[in-house]
């Protein structure tokens, strides 16, 4: 390839584009993480669940046996080395370190995707990497700790091992290692099963290869999960599998909203979107689907772009490669899976990102023999627009509250605090307490597990087990820290509210409601919290 009179090897240019995209991805995500409050403050609920579980593992408590968590143990185990830092920097410092890790993992995802398509040339590598670097849902997952960037890391490692160029590897050992990587990803989030299913279908003519992949996946998953299955198998199965399968949310997120969030048109993490955003999101979704359909159905594959061999007709020249079928198959399967459950959150689409960008990049590669310089120019123009949008997303992230100073005055060290959002306690270095304090790592998940899949404002209050458990948590607490989202995490009943109002007095109503055991103090009511949205 020539540029400014110089001939640049395609492989060198592809590698340069991959590294540049990774640097851009890292910079955009650090822009978010380093915004006011995001390094040490309360950003989201989820990060406190994963780091909190890691902190308790370091303290000698085990998930599923000593505390409830409705997710596999993979991410908390990955965060154990960071949680160990809390002995020197506190839980607050450990949270900052965990959040700084996420942009690095996201940038590594960009590199791994680039390596998967590097053989297809600079256009495909550049489109895949820069598109993933600019993907808004991936960006919005960066200021805190979610499962999806780590899940993508292992799935992309697995895909890289499974493919030689555009074809599946003939090595059984590599397929086993690919399965191992996917299995490790499944120990973070079971969604790793989707690309594994697609690969197994692609290997249907090679049963030994398919078995090697499945065996590796099983070993990878059990390598992480078997200790917990051996110690507390019934609790593991109930919390991770049964509770999630039975989960029922109050309101079903409309499919159109899911599609809008997946396209990244909405640059906020709320579901309440405007009519204009809906229309724009649907238009973008339609354009993406149309682009993929035209490229894969109407354009020849790169291997067949020249003069066709004798006897090869129109349809024969449009055959897809194994890598293209893997990208498209995973994209369709994950999209279909996203449409089934009642709930959907913006960070879910982060898992879709690599497969969407893989498919778009491979589709763009089919345009290159036809349009040549025009294809490169169009790709550059679209990516420039995407990067500008990504910069708006990164800079549009609102500052996060940092309640540490206020809570430091209100709650003494070592106090037993029960809360519906442990992120406040981690931020204030008040997370771990002495013996006898309830090990509430995931209040939302605990309610779901105790009430057979029901959220607090969706019927959990009718579950005697859930209400009784929370009554026991309150009885053992010296302090309560309640946020407006407690209505969806705590199964409030009139009796439960009455118990709290009789036995706790208000210490502060700002930034959150802090109650201390004892009588007296200003009057307050929990009724507003019980019905508050998250």
From 395, 424, 442, give the residue that closes a domain. 395
Same domain, 410 and 380: no
192 pLDDT higher than 50:
yes
Name the percent of the chain lying above pLDDT 70. 92
Residues 6+ apart with CB under 8 A from 451: 459, 460, 462, 463, 465, 466, 491
410 pLDDT higher than 60:
yes
CA–CA dist 30, 160 (Å, integer): 26
The pLDDT mean for the chain works out to: 88
Instruction: Identify the domain containing residue 59 by its residue range.
Output: 2-395
* pLDDT in the model for residue 400: 84
* pLDDT in the model for residue 298: 82
Residue 311 carries which DSSP code?
T
475-534 tens-digit pLDDT = 999 999 999 888 889 999 999 999 999 999 999 887 789 999 998 778 777 876 765 555
Same domain, 190 and 208: yes
Same domain, 432 and 283: no
117-164 tens-digit pLDDT = 999 999 999 999 999 999 999 998 888 999 999 999 999 999 999 999
From 395, 416, 447, give the residue that closes a domain. 395
CB atoms within 10 A of CB 254: 13
Beta strands 417-419 and 479-482 are: parallel
* pLDDT in the model for residue 513: 92
Looking at the DSSP assignment, which residues form a beta bridge with residue 238? none
Query: The tokens of 5 are what?
Result: 């009179």
Q: What band does 303 get if pLDDT is binned at 50, 70 and 90?
A: low
Same domain, 381 and 503: no
269 pLDDT higher than 70:
no
Residues 6+ apart with CB under 8 A from 116: 128, 156, 159, 160, 163, 323, 358
* pLDDT in the model for residue 312: 46
Dihedral angle at the C-alpha atoms of 188, 194, 196, 198, nearest 10 degrees? Answer: -170
Same domain, 181 and 316: yes
Range with the largest mean pLDDT of 303-312, 392-401, 444-453: 444-453
Same domain, 423 and 276: no
Same domain, 429 and 376: no
The conformational region for residue 424 under phi > 0 = left, psi -120 to 50 = alpha, else beta, is alpha
From 375, 395, 415, give the residue that closes a domain. 395
Same domain, 58 and 114: yes
Same domain, 179 and 296: yes
27-41 tens-digit pLDDT = 999 999 998 888 999
CA–CA dist 236, 522 (Å, integer): 43
Same domain, 57 and 77: yes
274 pLDDT higher than 90:
no
Q: What band does 401 get if pLDDT is binned at 50, 70 and 90?
A: confident
CA–CA dist 73, 320 (Å, integer): 37
Number of compact structural domains in the chain: 2
Q: What band does 277 get if pLDDT is binned at 50, 70 and 90?
A: confident
Name the percent of the chain lying above pLDDT 90. 63
CA–CA dist 172, 178 (Å, integer): 10
Residue 164 carries which DSSP code?
E
120-134, 300-314, 351-365, 506-520: the lowest-pLDDT one: 300-314
Same domain, 123 and 173: yes
* pLDDT in the model for residue 526: 83
Q: What band does 10 get if pLDDT is binned at 50, 70 and 90?
A: low
Same domain, 148 and 200: yes
């Amino acid at each position: 390839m020539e540029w400014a009179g110089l001939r640049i090897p395609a492989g060198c240019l592809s590698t340069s584009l991959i590294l540049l995209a990774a640097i851009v991805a890292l910079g955009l995500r650090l822009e978010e993480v380093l915004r006011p409050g995001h390094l040490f403050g309360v950003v989201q609920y989820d990060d406190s669940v994963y780091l909190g579980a890691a902190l308790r593992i370091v303290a000698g408590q085990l998930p599923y046996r000593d505390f409830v968590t409705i997710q596999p143990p993979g991410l908390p185990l990955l965060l154990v080395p960071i949680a160990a830092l809390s002995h020197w920097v506190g839980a607050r410092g450990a949270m900052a370190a965990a959040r700084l890790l996420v942009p690095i993992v996201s940038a590594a995802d960009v590199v791994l995707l680039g390596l998967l398509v590097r053989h297809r040339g600079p256009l495909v590598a550049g489109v895949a990497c820069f598109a993933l670097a600019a993907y808004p849902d991936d960006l919005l997952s960066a200021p805190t700790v979610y499962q999806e960037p780590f899940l993508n890391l292992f799935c992309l490692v697995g895909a890289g091992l499974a493919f030689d160029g555009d074809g599946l590897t003939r090595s059984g050992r590599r397929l086993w290692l690919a399965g191992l990587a996917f299995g490790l990803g499944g120990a973070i989030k079971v969604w790793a099963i989707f690309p594994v299913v697609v690969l197994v279908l692609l290997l249907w003519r090679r049963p030994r290869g398919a078995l090697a992949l499945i065996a590796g996946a099983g070993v990878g998953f059990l390598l992480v999960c078997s200790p917990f299955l051996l110690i507390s198998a019934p609790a593991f199965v109930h919390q991770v599998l049964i509770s999630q399968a039975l989960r029922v949310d109050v309101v079903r997120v409309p499919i159109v909203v899911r599609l809008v969030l997946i396209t990244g048109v909405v640059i906020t993490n709320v579901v309440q979107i405007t009519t204009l955003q809906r229309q724009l999101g649907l238009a973008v979704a339609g354009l993406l689907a149309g682009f993929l359909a035209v490229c894969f159905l109407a354009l020849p594959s790169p291997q067949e772009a020249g003069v066709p061999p004798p006897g090869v007709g129109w349809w024969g020249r449009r055959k897809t490669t194994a890598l293209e079928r893997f990208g498209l198959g995973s994209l369709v399967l994950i999209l279909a899976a996203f449409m089934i459950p009642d709930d959907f959150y913006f960070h879910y689409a982060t898992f879709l990102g690599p497969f969407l960008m893989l498919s778009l990049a491979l589709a763009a590669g089919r345009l290159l023999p036809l349009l040549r310089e025009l294809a490169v120019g169009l790709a550059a123009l679209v990516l420039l627009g995407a990067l500008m949008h990504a910069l708006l997303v990164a800079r549009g992230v609102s500052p996060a509250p940092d309640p540490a100073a206020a809570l430091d005055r209100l709650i003494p060290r070592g106090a037993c605090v029960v809360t519906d959002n442990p992120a406040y306690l981690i931020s204030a270095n008040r997370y771990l307490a002495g013996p006898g304090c309830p090990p509430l790592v995931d209040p939302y998940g605990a309610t779901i597990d105790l009430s057979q899949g029901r959220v607090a404002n969706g019927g959990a209050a009718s579950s005697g087990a859930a209400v009784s458990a929370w009554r026991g948590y309150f009885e053992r607490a010296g302090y309560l820290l309640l946020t407006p989202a407690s209505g969806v995490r705590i199964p409030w009943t009139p009796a439960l509210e009455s118990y709290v109002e009789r036995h706790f007095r208000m210490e502060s109503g700002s930034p959150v409601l802090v109650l201390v055991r004892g009588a007296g103090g200003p009057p307050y009511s929990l009724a507003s919290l019980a019905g508050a949205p998250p």
